[in-house]
Chains A and B, each alone.
Chain A
Amino acid sequence: MSAETVIERLREALPDAGVSLRKNPGPSCQHSLLVNAASLLDVCNVLRDTLAFDLLSNVTGVDWPDAAKADAVALPAEGEGTSSAGGFLEVLYHLYSTSRREGPLVLRARTVDREKQNQIPSVVAVYRSAEFQEREIFDLYGVEFTGHPDLRRILMWDEFEDHPMRKDYVAPDDYDYEPTPHDAVLEKARAHYPAAP
């Protein structure tokens, strides 16, 4: 079942879901479905119960500080709109059908922006396997999954405030002794040289 077929079936089942096709111009041709965050749970229910996509294999996040770049990677199909200006966070789901031996079907969902409106509904109620992976995305990207049963940091400690996988994350400037610094490390080392006597 190709992504085009899936999108037709989804539009029959959920006319207002706002599902659109994103073409992958690369040789893999692995097209994906962009889903409105609000209708993500309905779409997942239909995919699992009607179309037999019973395995959620992978959930991951993408940080798009520049929205235009997101649509340069996954081209909108003819007649589809592009995303608005400003950055957002994107969550990707890879679904498989074990009964039909098919997959992956790639779903994308986007937050409104990267700061306050960073909510995406949690799919744990539909796919239990998303629980820890959504916690990881919450930890490293700062996507807030509404309806998640236990949304805590999973890799970093609870007191940590940053989201290390975001593009604008700056690691703590903790210079370590380098016997032979070069290139970028040399630049970093220079900033830590003691003042010349």
Chain B
Amino acid sequence: MAIDPKLEADLKSQGVHVTSFEQLINWGRSSSLWPLQFGLACCAIEMIAATMAKYDMARFGAEVFRPSPRQADLMIVAGTVTKKMAPQVVRLYNQMAEPKYVIAMGACAISGGPFKDGYNVLKGIDRFIPVDVMIPGCPPRPAALLEGLMTLRDKIAREKLIGRHRARHADPEGAAEVPVPEFGAHDLEPTANREIWNPPVVVREAGGEA
């Protein structure tokens, strides 16, 4: 089904561009990611810096920060997600139109970071929403955010739109919404969405060293 690369190169040298709809659609999607405009903590400052002239996220077509989730393709979770804020973040994700992607930026959004033992901090936004790219750092430099953005672009460019391995948003049965956690008496309820969050189970000797 895929075109022979040599033939494609030969045709290209003659001014004929051959492609597939899948590649064309993915190229369009990956080249104009519109991020949702919100920041939660200090990572947001680096995110802002990444859009400014020195780093210039516009080179990758991702400079149009939208103040409405209805117009956004990409959620950059930039900062510490407190348990009080988590339901609002999940609700914003649910309100975004498909296809939608999530970047967890910084140690806090990935795992709770330095605050993970706090009673009020969510131990990673991937407990509630599916995360495509995680960018480590505290906070990550703007260049790291650009690297994460390019990683996401590569991921989108490889997406399958039909067939068994198609992307979630191309699957009619793929979930567009995730459950929003409720405020409980002691913690969020539930504390994680087990359908999308499955940490590795490490079996160690109960009495031995780790």
Among A174, A177, A182, contact of B210 (Cβ-Cβ < 8 Å) = A182
B210 pairs with A189, CB closer than 8 A? yes
- CB contacts under 8 Å to A, within B174-203, are 183-187, 191, 199-203
Q: Does B111 contact A (CB under 8 A)?
A: yes
A174 pairs with B184, CB closer than 8 A? no
Interface of B, secondary structure class, is loop
Shortest Cβ distance from residue A163 to the other chain B in the assembled complex, whole angstroms: 11
Among B84, B199, B210, contact of A186 (Cβ-Cβ < 8 Å) = B210
| Interfacial chain A residues near B118, Cβ < 8 Å | 171
A196 pairs with B199, CB closer than 8 A? no
- B-contact 0/1 string along A152-170, CB 8 Å cutoff: 0001111111101000010
B120 pairs with A193, CB closer than 8 A? no
- B-contact 0/1 string along A171-183, CB 8 Å cutoff: 1101011011110
Residue of A nearest to B203 (CB): A194
- A-contact 0/1 string along B120-131, CB 8 Å cutoff: 100110000000
With A155-B120, A169-B119, A176-B111 as given contacts, are A160 and B202 in contact (CB-CB < 8 Å)? Answer: no
With A164-B119, A171-B119, A189-B210 as given contacts, are A177 and B183 in contact (CB-CB < 8 Å)? Answer: no
With A156-B120, A161-B185, A176-B123 as given contacts, are A196 and B203 in contact (CB-CB < 8 Å)? Answer: yes
Shortest Cβ distance from residue A161 to the other chain B in the assembled complex, whole angstroms: 4
| Interfacial chain B residues near A157, Cβ < 8 Å | 83-84, 183
Number of interface residues of B (CB under 8 A): 25
| Interfacial chain A residues near B183, Cβ < 8 Å | 157-160
B120 pairs with A164, CB closer than 8 A? yes
Shortest Cβ distance from residue A170 to the other chain B in the assembled complex, whole angstroms: 9
- How many A residues touch the partner, as a band? 20 to 34
A190 pairs with B191, CB closer than 8 A? no
Rounded to whole angstroms, the CA-CA distance of A164 and B199 in the bound complex is: 27
| Interfacial chain A residues near B119, Cβ < 8 Å | 164, 169, 171-172
B191 pairs with A193, CB closer than 8 A? no
- B-contact 0/1 string along A32-59, CB 8 Å cutoff: 0000000000000000000000000000
| Interfacial chain B residues near A172, Cβ < 8 Å | 119, 186-187, 191
| Interfacial chain B residues near A193, Cβ < 8 Å | 202-204, 206
Rounded to whole angstroms, the CA-CA distance of A186 and B204 in the bound complex is: 11
6 residue pairs, one from A and one from B, having the closest CB atoms: A177-B199, A172-B187, A171-B119, A157-B183, A159-B183, A161-B185
A interface vs B, CB < 8 Å? 155-162, 164, 169, 171-172, 174, 176-177, 179-182, 186, 189-190, 193-194, 196-197
Given contacts A172-B186, A177-B199, 11 further A-B contacts (CB under 8 A): A155-B84, A169-B119, A176-B112, A176-B123, A177-B202, A179-B202, A190-B206, A193-B203, A193-B204, A194-B201, A194-B203
27 residue pairs bridging A and B, Cβ less than 8 Å apart: A155-B84, A156-B120, A158-B183, A160-B186, A162-B185, A162-B186, A169-B119, A171-B117, A171-B118, A172-B186, A172-B191, A176-B111, A176-B112, A176-B116, A176-B123, A176-B124, A177-B200, A179-B202, A180-B210, A181-B210, A182-B210, A186-B210, A189-B210, A190-B204, A193-B203, A193-B206, A196-B203
